[in-house]
Amino acid sequence: MTKTGFIPVFLYEITKIFHIKHRGEDMEKNKYKDIVEKYTPKEDRTSHGLKAFLIGGLMGVLGQFLLDLYAYLFHIPTTEAAPFMIITLIFFASLFTALGFFDKWVAWAQAGLIIPITGFAHSMMSAALEYRKEGFVTGIGANMFKLAGTVIIFGVVSAYVFGFIRLILFGG
């Protein structure tokens, strides 16, 4: 790494001007990458996946249960009961976030709670809580969609794209 003497340093500087990559530099970086890799612990993908699968599945069961419950209680078809189910899940995810323990659940269950609607509510609520002291407009308004904004944008775009594909292939 350290070069001494006038001529080697001079040559080194000249090659740098023309953005010539030094073989040594890459070697060094690769050598370092190996060390980093050696000591970086592996994440436990199997258990994470299994947890997410189980918790996500349970969330689905809970959603279905709520759906049937509302359909039974209010004597409405399940399609009309769906909004009530979604509102319930969003409400409790937001409430638990505000009470301060939902982040621990999410960090534990990971995708099991992030992928369902609870993750969406959690991301909005946590951002709103974070910025509430910076004003309604400049704080909450500007930052509430900090994490959820991406989901909305790409959700709409992909809905549009897949809608088109469905229209072309199956005629709507």
Partner 1 sequence: METMLYKNVYLNEVSTIAGPYEKKGPLGSYFDKTYDEFYFHKKTWEQAESKLIEESIDLVLRKLNKTRFDIDVHIGGDLLNQIVASNYAASRLKIPFLGIYSACATSMEGMIIGANLVEAKLVKNCLVTTSSHNNAAEKQFRYPVEYGAVKKKTTTFTVTGGTCAYLSREKSMIKIDSATIGTVEDMGEKDVMNMGAVMTPAAASTIYKHLKNTKRDISYYDLILTGDLGMYGEKMLKEFMEVEYRLKLKNYKDAGTMIYDLDNQPVFAGGSGPACAPLVAFSYVLEQMKKKEFKHVLVVATGALFSPTMTNQKLSIPSIAHAISLEVVQ
Rg (CA), the chain: 26
> Which token pair is 86?
């979604």
What does residue 26 show for φ and ψ, rounded to 5 degrees? -65, -40
Find the binder of partner 1 among 69, 86, 147, 151 (CB under 8 A).
Answer: 147
Q: Which is nearer to partner 1, 84 or 105 (CB)?
A: 105
Applying the rule CB under 8 A, the residues between 105 and 124 that interact with partner 1 are 105-108, 110, 113-114, 122-123
> Which token pair is 45?
């993908």
- Site size toward partner 1, by CB under 8 A: 36
Tell me the residue type at 145. Answer: F
> Is 29 near partner 1 (CB under 8 A)?
yes
Helix (H, G, I), strand (E, B), or coil: what is residue 20? Answer: coil
Count CB atoms within 10 A of the CB of residue 117.
Answer: 16
> Is 21 near partner 1 (CB under 8 A)?
no
Q: Which residues bind partner 1 (CB under 8 A)?
A: 1, 28-29, 31-33, 35-36, 38-41, 43, 97-98, 100, 102-108, 110, 113-114, 122-123, 125-127, 129-130, 133, 146-147
